């Protein structure tokens, strides 16, 4: 390879960056820069005292045949296909997910109020079409779509915990795939106890039979032979005019095409020449942070539920999942594990040790833990950014920013590069599409497929990469 000038520079080694590099193999030479000491981004897994933890839960929901085929090809026979067992805990009982289609079991007055309001909302001749509702606030969307009962019992309190904002200021343009919209007969049936199986985007999911979700980025990384990979390399400046990226380690990298998966809010601070107005607007992009507490417990089967939503304010967390319930190989024999998620806009003023104590108390209150349980592994991580906030500001700024970057030869992709509520599949797919577009454009540059002689300067984590069954 004659240098990175002739190739594609990829910023960030999460799934979007890795997928871009993987799909450029044999087409364009590439260099990938990653700030952390190993690849994987949000899909890294961690071994703590014999337990394998992901960043909260990372389960694959595959809708695109191309991504499904890629995953099978990368890791044949290494996936378990699991039928979802997810629930909502409310009024002291568990109801199946999604709440709106499974009201049976809640106090009868609650069922009556939810059902009456759903029927009224459904029959309201003035109710706007779903596409129009999606343009308004989440608060309005939830009440118009499900009625005030379901909104008040689940949609609003749960989403307030998740988004940490007044839901009148959160737009509803992310809901189309994420929130199931059952028909009237499904809601009535669910209230009577008739099971509504398979509603929503994730009735079954895939998960590695061992090794945690990190086996996926590792498989992509191990297939890279024509890409130089540099970990512990933090990008601190991007100059579109000279086509150079500067790193905190004092190196400069030239690019012919630049693909970045860095958060858009950060990117706007790093790119030279971005108009002040756009830079200021980008500073207003908001995201929640998530405190992820992973616990290993010295007792088998603390729950067989995969994950549980907690809309009620008496619980500090909005969701708790159990990796051991969908992957026995992720815990030592006789043990089980939980992941807990608490969202905030900022944790800087939070008493985090106090919050962790409260989490454990609440886990006992809701019955997942017993006060006699021994916690034998514990990992606390702050995910920042975690969920980008959909509001009017995001709606106007993101397209403008992406358009400016594209005009300057910068392709911003991935969950935070697009500043969206994206899945692992979306990140992989965007990498595929970006690589295809860049490969199609390569003729005009006459770039040869580059295979460099330089050894990659970082490797995947062999410990957490090795499947345990």
Ligand X SMILES: Cc1cc2nc3c(=O)[nH]c(=O)nc-3n(C[C@H](O)[C@H](O)[C@H](O)COP(=O)(O)OP(=O)(O)OC[C@H]3O[C@@H](n4cnc5c(N)ncnc54)[C@H](O)[C@@H]3O)c2cc1C
Nearer to ligand X, 17 or 208 (CB): 17
3-state secondary structure of 146: helix
Sole binder of ligand X in the list 8, 9, 10, 59 (CB under 6 A): 59
Contacts of 455 (CB under 8 A, 6+ apart): none
Give the span between the Cα atoms of 415 and 287, in whole angstroms: 12
Q: Identify which of 285, 283, 303, 284 has the alpha carbon closest to the alpha carbon of residue 295.
A: 303
Which token pair is 335?
Answer: 């043990």
Name the one range near ligand X by CB under 6 A: 21-29, 343-351, 361-369, 415-423: 415-423
Output b/e per residue, 7-34; b: 16+ Cβ within 10 A: bbbbbbbbbbbbbbbbbbbebbbbbbbb
- Extract the runs of DSSP E, i.e. beta strands, from 298-401: 307-309, 319-321, 336-344, 375-383
Task: Determine which residue in the list 1, 7, 9, 13 makes contact with ligand X, applying CB under 6 A.
Answer: 13
Residue 321 within binding range of ligand X, rule CB under 6 A? no
| Interaction of residue 386 with ligand X, rule CB under 6 A | yes
Which residue number, 148 or 289, has a Cβ lying nearer to ligand X? 289
Among residues 100, 324, 423, 464, the one that binds ligand X under rule CB under 6 A: 423
**The pair of three-digit structure tokens given for residue 268, joined into one six-digit string:** 């706007």
Which range touches ligand X (CB under 6 A), out of 55-63, 93-101, 342-350, 453-461? 55-63
Work out which of 16, 21, 121, 179 binds ligand X, going by CB under 6 A.
16
389 binds ligand X (CB under 6 A): no
CA 109 to chain centre: 36
User: Do 79 and 206 touch, CB atoms closer than 8 A?
Assistant: yes
- 415 touches ligand X by CB under 6 A: yes
Neighbouring residues of 222: CB distance < 8 A, sequence distance ≥ 6: 460
Helix, strand, or coil (residue 83): strand
DSSP assignment letter at 300 = S
Q: Helix, strand, coil % (nearest 5) of the chain?
A: 35, 20, 40
Q: Which of residues 176-235 bind ligand X (CB under 6 A)?
A: 234-235
56 is an interface residue for ligand X by CB under 6 A: yes
The answer to the question of residue 245 lying near ligand X (CB under 6 A) is: no
User: Which residue number, 149 or 263, has a Cβ lying nearer to ligand X?
Assistant: 263
Q: How many residues bind to ligand X according to rule CB under 6 A?
A: 37
Candidate segments 138-146, 163-171, 370-378, 419-427, binder of ligand X by CB under 6 A: 419-427
Q: Contact with ligand X (CB under 6 A): which of 29, 34, 244, 259? A: 34
Taking residues 275 to 294 in sequence order and writing x for each that binds ligand X by CB under 6 A, - otherwise, the string is ---------------x----
Would you call 382 helix, strand, or coil by DSSP?
A: strand
112 binds ligand X (CB under 6 A): no
Contacts of 325 (CB under 8 A, 6+ apart): 85, 301, 303, 304, 305, 306, 336
- Binding range to ligand X, per CB under 6 A, among 129-137, 374-382, 413-421, 451-459: 413-421
Q: Is 261 a binder of ligand X (CB under 6 A)?
A: yes
Which of 424, 432, 435, 438 binds ligand X (CB under 6 A)? It is 424
Residues of this chain that bind ligand X (CB under 6 A): 11-17, 33-36, 41-43, 55-61, 234-235, 261-262, 290, 383, 386, 414-416, 422-427
């Amino acid at each position: 390879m004659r240098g990175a000038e002739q190739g594609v520079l990829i910023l960030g080694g999460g799934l979007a960056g890795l997928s871009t590099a993987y799909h450029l193999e044999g087409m364009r030479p590439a260099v990938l820069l990653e700030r952390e000491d190993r690849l994987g981004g949000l899909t890294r897994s961690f071994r703590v005292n014999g337990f394998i933890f992901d960043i909260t839960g990372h389960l694959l929901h595959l809708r695109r045949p191309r991504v499904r085929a890629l995953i099978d090809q990368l890791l044949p026979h290494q996936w378990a296909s699991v039928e979802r067992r997810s629930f909502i805990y409310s009024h002291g009982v568990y109801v199946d997910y999604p709440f709106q289609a499974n009201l049976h079991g809640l106090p009868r007055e609650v069922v009556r109020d939810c059902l009456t309001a759903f029927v009224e909302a459904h029959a309201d001749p003035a109710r706007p079409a779903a596409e129009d509702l999606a343009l308004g606030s989440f608060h309005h969307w939830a009440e118009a779509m499900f009625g005030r009962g379901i909104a008040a019992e689940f949609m609003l309190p749960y989403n307030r915990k998740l988004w940490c904002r007044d839901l009148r200021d959160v737009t509803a343009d992310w809901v189309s795939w994420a929130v199931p919209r059952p028909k009237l007969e499904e809601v009535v049936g669910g209230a009577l106890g008739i099971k509504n199986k398979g509603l929503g985007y994730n009735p079954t999911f895939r998960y590695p039979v061992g090794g945690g979700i990190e086996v996926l980025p590792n498989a992509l990384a191990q297939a890279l032979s024509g890409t130089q990979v540099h970990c512990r390399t933090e990008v601190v400046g991007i100059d579109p005019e000279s086509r150079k990226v500067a790193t905190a380690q004092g190196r400069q990298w030239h690019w012919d095409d630049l693909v970045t998966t860095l958060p858009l809010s950060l990117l706007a601070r790093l790119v030279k020449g971005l108009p002040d107005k756009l830079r200021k607007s980008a500073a207003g992009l908001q995201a929640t942070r998530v405190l992820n507490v992973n616990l290993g417990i010295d007792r088998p089967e603390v729950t067989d539920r995969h994950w549980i939503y907690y809309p009620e304010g008496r619980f500090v967390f909005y969701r708790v999942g159990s990796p051991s319930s969908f992957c026995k190989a992720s815990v030592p024999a006789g043990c089980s594990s939980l992941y807990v998620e608490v969202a905030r806009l900022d944790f800087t003023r939070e008493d985090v040790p106090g919050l962790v104590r409260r989490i454990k108390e609440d886990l006992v209150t809701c019955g997942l833990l017993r006060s006699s349980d021994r916690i034998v592994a514990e990992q606390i991580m702050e995910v920042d950014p975690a969920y980008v906030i959909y509001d009017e500001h995001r709606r106007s700024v993101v397209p403008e920013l992406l358009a400016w970057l594209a005009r300057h030869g910068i392709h911003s992709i991935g969950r935070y590069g697009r500043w969206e509520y994206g899945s692992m599949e979306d990140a992989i797919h965007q990498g595929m599409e970006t690589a295809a577009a860049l490969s199609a454009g390569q003729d005009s540059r006459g770039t040869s497929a580059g295979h460099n002689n330089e050894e990659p300067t970082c490797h995947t984590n062999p410990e957490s990469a090795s499947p345990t069954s």
